[in-house]
Structure 1
């Protein structure tokens, strides 16, 4: 029986895939942007072949430099994970522009550019992910788990190591 991933609100790929890649990240974190891009390129074939379930957990970690990421997360409608993924991809690509902005400008960008609105239900999801992060002792973003084996990016895992670890888990 395959492991069920807790708080898999933003889940990509087959829930029954043998390899579970979970990442705790925040949209305002530059290292998370780099990891997201690496995972986007590295994991796609595995997801397509039902070998990997990729779960993104936006961690609204209470840290000043991450607050704008938390603000953005509050506008995500978790009922449409594919759309959120595409928006995250764009926001990570343009992170240096909007993350230096102010909260009103960010809200305006989210409503005008993406047609988003604040989603009250997202607060409850955020609290569940925060509780899980505390339980799993996630201290920094991004923190990656591959079948429960923990890696801290950028120190312990890059794009090639991500592929190597997935291949090892599949073997």
Structure 2
């Protein structure tokens, strides 16, 4: 079992929790939006009870359909994980409105609607997450790891299966 999780900047819950749920995702991926919503509903009580640590890793995967998610990630200040969680929740909910716009429109939305600016440190964090994804052989998003066991969404894990997997470990 993993005790120290790499790239845990966006970590929610106790680092001492017995279950680590790590997800590699991208803001422009519709499957990631669905997983994020499912995880938001499923994991909150476990996080509050100290049973789960939920770690989100934005995978700036170099794939055309994901590039605007990578662009949005560049505007996140990783020193404010709670704010980023709320932003992700909103951006995933509104994904269909922005993820196929052009880059200038997305930048304008992020600065004017959300008061964000590009965060140079985020590029370094993104590169570290890409390196980890390569090391762990992550090919698709979302890729979910529960105590180092990998699951693919939606093929291998949905909200109910996520809950069942956590219960198995507990």
Distance in 1, matches of 2:20 and 2:5, equals 8
Answer yes or no: is the 8 Å Cα contact 2:2–2:147 preserved in 1.
no
For residue 9 of structure 1, report the CA deviation from its aligned partner.
Answer: 0.7
- Residue by residue over 1:51-89, the C-alpha shift from the partner in whole angstroms, topping out at 9 and shown as x without a partner, is 000000000000000000000000000000000000000
Q: Which residue of 2 aligns with 1:22?
A: 22
Distance in 2, matches of 1:107 and 1:129, equals 22
Distance in 1, matches of 2:115 and 2:84, equals 12
Q: Which residue of 1 aligns with 2:150?
A: 150
Q: Which residue of 2 aligns with 1:85?
A: 85
Distance in 2, matches of 1:21 and 1:125, equals 19
For residue 2 of structure 1, report the CA deviation from its aligned partner.
Answer: 6.6
Query: Equivalent residue of 1:89, what SS?
Result: helix
Q: Which 5+ residue runs of structure 2 have no aligned equivalent?
A: none
| TM-score using structure 2 length | 0.99
Residues 2 and 130 (structure 1 numbering): CA distance in 2 closer, same or farther, change over 3 Å?
closer
Answer yes or no: is the 8 Å Cα contact 1:11–1:53 preserved in 2.
yes
For residue 100 of structure 1, report the CA deviation from its aligned partner.
Answer: 1.6
Answer yes or no: is the 8 Å Cα contact 2:11–2:81 preserved in 1.
yes
Distance in 1, matches of 2:24 and 2:141, equals 6
For residue 50 of structure 1, report the CA deviation from its aligned partner.
Answer: 0.4
Q: Which residue of 2 aligns with 1:111?
A: 111
For residue 94 of structure 1, report the CA deviation from its aligned partner.
Answer: 0.3
| TM-score using structure 1 length | 0.98
Answer yes or no: is the 8 Å Cα contact 1:2–1:18 preserved in 2.
no
> Where has structure 1 moved over 2 Å in runs of 4 or more?
none
